[in-house]
Structure 1
Amino acid sequence: MPGFELSDISTKYRQESTENLTPKSDKMYVSTAKAVIFVLLAVVLAVGVGIIVHFAGPGKTIECHCNYPSVGDSGTSAAIEQCKDWATDGNDEICSACPSAATTTHAPTTATVPEVTTTAPSKVTDVRLPTALEPLLYTVELQPHMYEGEPETFYFNGSVTIKLRCKTNANNITLHSNLLTITGEINVYAENDMINNLYKSHSFDHERQFLVVMTTQPLQANKNYTVEITHFRGPLNPDLAGLYLSTYIRDNKKIHIATTQMQPTDARKTFPCMDEPAIKAEFDVTLVRKSNMISISNSPIIQNETRGDGWVADKFQTTAKMSTYLLAFIICDFDYIVNTTKNNVTYRAYARPEAIDQAKYSLEIGVPILDYFEEYFGIPYPLPKQDMIALPDFAAGAMENWGLITYRETAMLYEPGVSSEGNKQRVAIVVSHELAHQWFGNLVTPSWWDDLWLNEGFASYVEYMGVDHYHPDWKMFDQFVVIDLQSVFDIDGLISSHPVYVPVAHPDEINEIFDRISYAKGASIIRMMRFFMGDTVFQKGLTRYLKKLAYDAAFHDDLWNALAEEAREQNHNFTNVKDIMDTWVLQMNYPVVTIKHDQTGRITVDQHRYLKDPNATDPKKYTSEFNYTWYIPFTYTTSKKPSFNVTSNDVVFLNRNTEPVTIIDVDIPAPGGTNWIIGNPKQYGYYRVNYETENWNALITQLRSNHMIIDPINRAQIINDAWSLAASGELDMKIALRTTEYLQNEREYVPWDAARTQLSFVGSMLVRNKLFGSFQKFMQNKTIEVFRDLTMNNTGATHLESYMRSTISSLACSYGIDECVNSAVALYKQWMDNNGTNPIDPGLKSTVYCIAVSAGGVEEWEFALNQYRTSNLAAEKQRLLSAMACTQHSWILSRYLEMAINPDEIRYQDSTTVIRYISGNTIGRSLAWDFFRENWDRLFEIHGDGVKALVGLIHSVTAALNSQFELRQLKSFMDSLDNLGSTVRAFEQALEKTQSNINWMKANVPVIESWLHEQGF
């Protein structure tokens, strides 16, 4: 059972016992005589226990009888010894050291370990380490055993020595340790005294994942100490967390490798350490491997030592001062290619030998982006080497380990002629993102996970800068609006959202915030800040921040202070950075700016909070000290003099209040006809804009007559804002529908992508409604001309032309345009008949594969499965996984769902992805929803630490739920679960979105039906 703990049993037992003592209708009474006897027996027993305790003094042996948890650590023997120590000290609490689901040392009142309550069924929140000690240097040795036996028996062993500085007096050393068995000795020494061992005992607090080492005498402030753990052991599992097992096939033989993923709290699964981001230290690492393998870590190898039985120990150069979550240890048999940066940093790209040629592009783009970031930040990359490695099994997209970035294969490998332009852009984006982390996160680290956005928000914005530097023709900053800004608006319009800066404690809560708010909203408000501060202040302010806090930890106020200092030095208009940015970081959601026009040429601008459901009740856990008002950098342009290249000089700040702000001289007398105003040019600001009906009509008229007058970003904005405001009831749905009337003339990717997102949602809501046939005709009408213009011939297309063709082909085929469907089926059949020679353009593969499998039967599906099994390119395998979910045969989908949780068929990293794909199929929607609920325990077991996988799955399988019956199903399922782990917020969002979908159906289906009828559909 997921989340099973001994404390759950004891709580349940206490509850059951209470119920048994509660008077029922069949009353039972105890006589007075019997009651007196019971009392006398209790007194005798108490006296007897007291006598036993009294005489169990020095020299006596006390045997502890405990029920030990079978959790794979060495708490048992240590607890018995601790118990004996307390007994011989005359302590009354004999055997209280017996480990349970949460065990703590019985220490004097000066202990630095938080008190543990073992009876509370809720999660602990005081999980922070004591601050009395700080590590200076770890000496770690690890030896994975994965060469003999079956994978379930694989393990690793190791040792660790930690040099510590004592900052305040303490009587223990508290480390993190999770699922590790201490099989050797623990020694504690004062500096320069390796004879007098200060170790007294140790115990485990399993709930906090603490290893508490008690000392024979207090540790004194301003002195150094060393704790040595001579031998420990941990399981080497394919769980994608900590030090884990990854496997791939070569010549029908399984090849095993050991690799790591430490972020956020899994270094403690690899070796005992102080596993918090602000607790930085240096590391001396030794990895012990078989002679036919290689080892890689954060630093270069400086020494090899041959050991017996074919083992080799690789010793690595001492690392920079860094956080534990940035460590990486890999033992594999990979090949590499190499290049060198301008500053002579060795840059290697590792991959499976069969796939090493596919690493060329990631290396090609990585080197100049690293050079660019060095120049932009004004700080040289501080390590002698930068490695990147593509792993067969990886839970995330990539991880920024300092000096050794790990990637999922789809995020690093690219093969020209086989991979699509979308695959190429994904590789470029992820490489740039991880290199940005070498400064934001690695050099300067958030002091705690509540400021995760300082890592992920910055990397998610700076990634665009890196790719734009190398591929300016890709228009990455135009794409930003639909990839990040508009996509996160949808989540951040819910009351189940959260602030960018969010208090977290338990590891489940930490995992929970690795979400679109931390990444995409973080990036969006950074983009907004760069806009209103100007490029120069922004760039120099970041350099000031990075230099001041290099090799240290930061709080977000440190960033505001650095930017404000730079702004004052540059005599910038906006120096109150903290006042402005706190309103965006410390409260969730975002504003709608409403523009109203009068007849004198003035506009009045005010703000209010956007919620998809304006009647939703705010959660108690998040309150806004700003009353959900913001400092808003407002800009605008008009039809009389349309200029979309606004700068910080054009910004008018709307103060944090609810009073309207009047801006004069907007140069149009009134909206309507050909007169319009557009707020938020280029959509730099993190807010939506609403207008009077006359202005909306004028914008729609402009789009229909000459849409090119309006910038592509703002064409996308108009569509996204209108549909979202209609969803919240703030705008007539007919206006939102009318923003799509011009689409047959649109040839830019970004506006079409914004429209596709909104129209796909409508399709998902109507697919089981009688109205879908009419909506399908509408979609065919909007796409057929564009499809015929672009065709399915992608030869010679630019990057964004390929994106546009892929988008239109997907829509045209999905909504049943015969020319598209027939072409897709013919191309797929040609592939099947060509003995594996694929004639399909990479940019169209996803559409062609899906449509052909959907139109075909088991033969087409089995062909895709065989291609999946034999393909050597991860991106191609991913397309085929998606295509197999498109079949219209429910029995095949049921078979596919069972395959999804069979690691011999589908890798664990892809299991939730397959279910998500199936949930997007109209036929598979209910199958996936049922399978998800029936197999939750299994999925939670596989992905309990991989919160992103489960969160994405929850969002996908519930995305189209839109009836009261489905809402009740979802609520009932949530209530049946004992442990939601890190998925609590995802389920809350699913409930809120389902209710929103129900409201949307009630409010908008009649309007859409009427409008479609008026349009002749």
Structure 2
Amino acid sequence: MGKGFYISKPLGIVLFGLGAGAVLTIFALSVVYAQEKWKNEVNAIDGTRMVTTAAPHRTSAPSNEPWDKYRLPDALLPEYYNVTLWPRLVLDERGMYIFTGKSGVAFTCMKETNLILIHSNELNFTLTSEMHHAKLTGLGGTSAPAILKTWFQTQTQFMVIQLKGKLQVGKSYWLYTEFHGELSDDLGGFYRSEYTENGVKKVVATTQMQPTAARNAFPCFDEPSMKAIFHLTLLHPRGTVALSNGTESITIDNQEVLQTRFEPTQKMSTYLLAFVVSEFTNIRSPPEANILIRIWGRREAIETGQGDYALNVTFPILKYFENYYNTTYPLSKSDQIALPDFAAGAMENWGLVTYRELSLFYDPNVSSNEDKEWVVTVITHELAHMWFGNLVTMRWWNDLWLNEGFANYVSYLGADYAEPTWNIKDLMVLQQVQRAFEVDALVSSHPLSSQEDEVITPDQIDQLFDTITYSKVFIMCQKQLEITVKQCHINYLHEYAYNNTVYTDLWKKLQEVNSSIQLPASINEIMNRWILQMGFPVVTIDTRTGSITQQHFLIHPEAVVDKPSDYNYEWFVPITWMKSGSNMGQHWLLTKTASYEPMKTDTDWLLANLNVTGYYRVNYDPQNWERLLIQLNSDHKVGVSLSLKAQIINITLALRTTKYLYKEKEYIPWESAIRNLQYFFLMFDRTEVYGPLQTYLRGEVQPLFDHFKVITSNWTQKPPRYMDQYNQINAISMACKTGVKGCSELTRMWYRQWMKNPDTSPIPSNLKVTVYCNAIAAGGVEEWDFGWQMFKNSTIAAEAEKLLYGLSCTKEPWLLNRYLEYSIDPNLIRKQDITYAIVYIADNVIGQPLVWDFFRANWEYITKNFEDGPFFFGGLIKGITKKFSTEFELQQLQRFQEDFAASNFSFGMQAIEQAIEQTKANIKWISENKAQVMNWLIEQSD
């Protein structure tokens, strides 16, 4: 298939853009509700789980003292740490899991000072001497001043050490502490994960340091620019193994415990530190490999081969990135470990990457194509970080996108190399760009890069792990400067290895390699407009007059944008187009308005933003839309490569673009159409429009359902083409959703067969999500209870995740309420899955009001009793309120906002503001389009 999908094309493009994308972006009020597949919804990739909602903590510091500021002063620079930790994997006499530790850090004085500030949070310290919590000595013959006093500044998470004298510039010192902390189950810092093996509970001590939790494990200078070398020793019980970033150098049996010492790490940031103590086992690369690769996990998972796929793809991916970056992998080993409890999808700790089981394990007998695709793309994302993020790291969190955006981009390249027959690169637009559009069309969006002083507190840092950070830069990398971005990466890594950067360092490298390419302005001028101001433009092309205009695209065009921009929300836009007859063109739009040569005939059409060469939407004059529609419906097989657009057009014109779907058999146009039509289902599934909508779409999907019934020999075989295997899911899912005859019976038949013989499932792996949901929806308590029991018994993460979703589909309110109660009981559903269970139920038209009531009654419990409450809260708000489309629901949401504001919680206000903005847009969209949609659908049935 080459470099691009050649789908049922042009205007496969128009379907994908005009037909599918445009269905949602109606009248500048609609949104691209780009729904990720059920699993991509539930898993962010790494770090702090792509938090989209934590509002900035605006509480001003109570004084101007250094310890009341959140940032470290620049007086001290760490060189290396010696850390010894002993996690207890059994309860102590107080019924707690704890760890004890000893830590020393060598640092150099860069500016004369009588003050040491070092991060420490949730740690209790032993008094080392003279009633102080730390001991300070000089290195290299230097004498250290005595400690005057020590205390802890809780709000800013500092241990404050005031000295009787001053530290000398250029001299080095050693700070020693002893401490203990709780090995809690809060999924952050140094925490515990639990699982059952052969009826026995097992405890794992593990870590998640990003972004600001290394300070929860030991005292440290916990900022990304404070890179240092770490010498680590772990004490652990016999029968367990200890892992960390470095290779194990020696393990000593001290009778009571084992003691494992690790080789020193590379110079790196604190958030990349990781260590694990467990009874896990591993599979590894052969001895002749020049990099030791090990896949770790629960013994049952490893012995049943669930880690085999990860082991097979890791080495080729590492070699691919070595070649891509022209830089040797800087470590001697690559450990990857799957944890039963992990809030993110994965985390790129240097040399010891941690994963959810779902993100690392693959069982070919149970897992689906989508599960396999998720595993390889997550692995490539994390391994891409070994260079981009770990070797070279952003100086401060305001430039987080330097790590995540570019790792996200090259992860598709690595996955495409590992699985060349999948054409994963061609899914980038579908999976990344639409997600960015959805969030970036809100007035509550944010620029890719902010000023350092705008991102200070842990809450403010957390909120940066969102769709904008991960996906927005994606499209700019992909196409705008694609020719030179690889060489730019190479030069950037070579110059700044083991150091920290700001975004202008990248622009400098990009400018150097672009010196021979004709651009309308400097790289700095072009790219700053895209990263220093939020949002994106909609480009309107009038083919009659030749005028081109751009304006800031907003989901709610009447919303007030109160965030100033130095560029007045004007972008340098690279416009590519194709005219009928394959006449290609390119133009840089540098101002609000420009012009080009108009169309010469009344039959010629123009299609812009080919292959998504720019991060913008496109609209045309009505006549051009009509010509594109004619082309789409008369010859949808004409060869035009894949593209994505969304438009501001009349609702009936958008709906007309779906009329050709009954002829379409390819995956990408159907997938895009279904994702985008979700907005219609969201808005109308409680109204009189829903019936006619079902009837119309039933007619469009019936031929696709029949097609797959034929090519699979009455559902007994797997479609031979890879993308057809995906599209079979769409055919059955949409057929059941719209009431195609035989669909519900098919899913119930498979499910009932499984109920009769639980040990052998007849359900094809790729179809399990669809079958579970539809069969449980059509069934009753017997089907639900069976699904719940299989969920509890599942030892394969991918299977458990599918059942977690399927259970939310029941139409019985009492079962949904029972499921809601289960969701906040960590003995029944793991804390990592609380958000997903609740949001899944909210997707159910019957469950949504139940969830809203449940959430309002329990949100304080959730945020107070789950350490990761701020993360959970944002995902819940977005998922629960996305159907809101009435004045009454808006009033309820605003009332909840008032109650939340009165509670003094600061982390979730942005999520509520986004939900209110979305609800207002939904209300307006329905008021302007409901009648037209209804009339149009009725006309189609005449």
Q: Give the TM-score normalised by the residue count of structure 2.
A: 0.89
CA distance in 2, matches of 1:938, 1:526: 42
What corresponds to 1:659 in structure 2? 593
* Change beyond 3 A, Cα 1:756–1:835: closer
* Change beyond 3 A, Cα 1:606–1:259: same
What corresponds to 2:633 in structure 1? 704
Amino acid at match of 1:449: W
What corresponds to 1:248 in structure 2? 195
Preserved CA contact (<8 Å) 2:886 2:923: yes
Structure 1: segments with no counterpart, 5+ residues: 1-100, 107-111, 117-125, 644-649, 726-730
Q: Find 2:295's aligned residue among 315, 332, 349.
A: 349
Once structures 1 and 2 are overlaid, which stretch shifts more, 159-168 or 207-216? 207-216
CA distance in 2, matches of 1:618, 1:359: 49
What number of residue pairs does the alignment pair up? 867
CA distance in 2, matches of 1:339, 1:134: 38
- Name the structure, 1 or 2, with higher relative contact order (CA <8 Å, separation 6+): 2
- Residue 611, structure 1, aligned to residue 554, structure 2: yes
What corresponds to 2:181 in structure 1? 234
1:473 to partner: Cα distance: 2.5
What corresponds to 1:790 in structure 2? 708
1:342 to partner: Cα distance: 9.2
Q: Give the TM-score normalised by the residue count of structure 1.
A: 0.83
How do residues 804-883 of structure 1 correspond to structure 2 at under 5 angstroms?
Answer: 804-883=727-806
Q: Find 1:561's aligned residue among 508, 530, 536.
A: 508
What corresponds to 2:881 in structure 1? 958
* Change beyond 3 A, Cα 1:276–1:542: same
CA distance in 2, matches of 1:880, 1:964: 35
Preserved CA contact (<8 Å) 2:92 2:98: no
Partner secondary structure for residue 286 of structure 1: strand
CA distance in 2, matches of 1:102, 1:961: 35
CA distance in 2, matches of 1:690, 1:610: 11
1:750 to partner: Cα distance: 1.8
- Residue 640, structure 1, aligned to residue 581, structure 2: yes
CA distance in 2, matches of 1:631, 1:316: 50
- Residue 411, structure 1, aligned to residue 359, structure 2: yes
1:947 to partner: Cα distance: 4.6
What corresponds to 1:753 in structure 2? 671
1:982 to partner: Cα distance: 3.1
Amino acid at match of 1:605: I
Amino acid at match of 1:468: D
CA distance in 2, matches of 1:544, 1:154: 47
What corresponds to 1:459 in structure 2? 407
What corresponds to 2:43 in structure 1? none
1:953 to partner: Cα distance: 1.8
1:147 to partner: Cα distance: 1.9
Q: Find 1:179's aligned residue among 105, 122, 143.
A: 122
Partner secondary structure for residue 1015 of structure 1: helix
CA distance in 2, matches of 1:526, 1:585: 12
What corresponds to 2:724 in structure 1? 801
1:201 to partner: Cα distance: 1.7
1:513 to partner: Cα distance: 1.3
Q: Find 1:447's aligned residue among 374, 378, 395.
A: 395
CA distance in 2, matches of 1:555, 1:103: 26
What corresponds to 1:533 in structure 2? 481
Preserved CA contact (<8 Å) 1:395 1:949: no
What corresponds to 1:365 in structure 2? 313
Preserved CA contact (<8 Å) 2:145 2:166: no
CA distance in 2, matches of 1:855, 1:164: 65
CA distance in 2, matches of 1:470, 1:431: 11
* Change beyond 3 A, Cα 1:694–1:794: farther
CA distance in 2, matches of 1:384, 1:700: 57
Rg larger in 1 or in 2? 1
Q: Find 1:521's aligned residue among 472, 483, 492.
A: 472
Structure 2: segments with no counterpart, 5+ residues: 1-58, 129-133, 710-714
What corresponds to 2:600 in structure 1? 669
Preserved CA contact (<8 Å) 2:776 2:783: yes
* Change beyond 3 A, Cα 1:628–1:452: same
* Change beyond 3 A, Cα 1:794–1:370: farther
1:988 to partner: Cα distance: 1.5
What corresponds to 2:107 in structure 1? 164
1:477 to partner: Cα distance: 2.4
1:197 to partner: Cα distance: 6.3
Preserved CA contact (<8 Å) 2:267 2:498: yes
1:102 to partner: Cα distance: 11
Partner secondary structure for residue 689 of structure 1: strand
CA distance in 1, matches of 2:634, 2:517: 44
- Residue 624, structure 1, aligned to residue 581, structure 2: no
* Change beyond 3 A, Cα 1:869–1:828: same
What corresponds to 1:63 in structure 2? none
CA distance in 1, matches of 2:390, 2:197: 35
* Change beyond 3 A, Cα 1:406–1:248: same
1:973 to partner: Cα distance: 1.1
What corresponds to 1:491 in structure 2? 439
Aligned Cα RMSD in Å? 2.0
CA distance in 1, matches of 2:619, 2:231: 58
CA distance in 2, matches of 1:115, 1:249: 44
What corresponds to 2:617 in structure 1? 688
1:575 to partner: Cα distance: 6.7
CA distance in 1, matches of 2:401, 2:93: 41
What corresponds to 1:296 in structure 2? 243
Preserved CA contact (<8 Å) 1:103 1:205: no
How do residues 982-997 of structure 1 correspond to structure 2 at under 5 angstroms?
Answer: 982-997=907-922
What corresponds to 2:266 in structure 1? 320
Preserved CA contact (<8 Å) 2:234 2:260: yes
1:198 to partner: Cα distance: 2.7
Q: Deviations over 1:137-176 (max 9, x none)?
A: 0111111112245895111110110000110101111001
Q: Deviations over 1:690-731 (max 9, x none)?
A: 1011111111111111212253623xx25xx13xx2xxxxx2
Once structures 1 and 2 are overlaid, which stretch shifts more, 937-946 or 694-703? 937-946
1:341 to partner: Cα distance: 10
* Change beyond 3 A, Cα 1:440–1:575: farther
Q: Percent same amino acid at aligned positions? A: 38
Preserved CA contact (<8 Å) 1:478 1:750: no
* Change beyond 3 A, Cα 1:946–1:933: closer
How do residues 24-43 of structure 1 correspond to structure 2 at under 5 angstroms?
Answer: none
CA distance in 2, matches of 1:150, 1:802: 55
What corresponds to 1:775 in structure 2? 693
CA distance in 1, matches of 2:544, 2:142: 83
Amino acid at match of 2:469: S
Amino acid at match of 1:949: F
Amino acid at match of 2:242: S
What corresponds to 1:898 in structure 2? 821
Q: Deviations over 1:595-644 (max 9, x none)?
A: 11237xxx33221110111110113xx3211000001111101111166x
Partner secondary structure for residue 837 of structure 1: coil
CA distance in 1, matches of 2:750, 2:216: 49
CA distance in 1, matches of 2:529, 2:434: 20
How do residues 535-550 of structure 1 correspond to structure 2 at under 5 angstroms?
Answer: 535=483, 537-550=484-497
CA distance in 1, matches of 2:107, 2:251: 27
Partner secondary structure for residue 935 of structure 1: helix
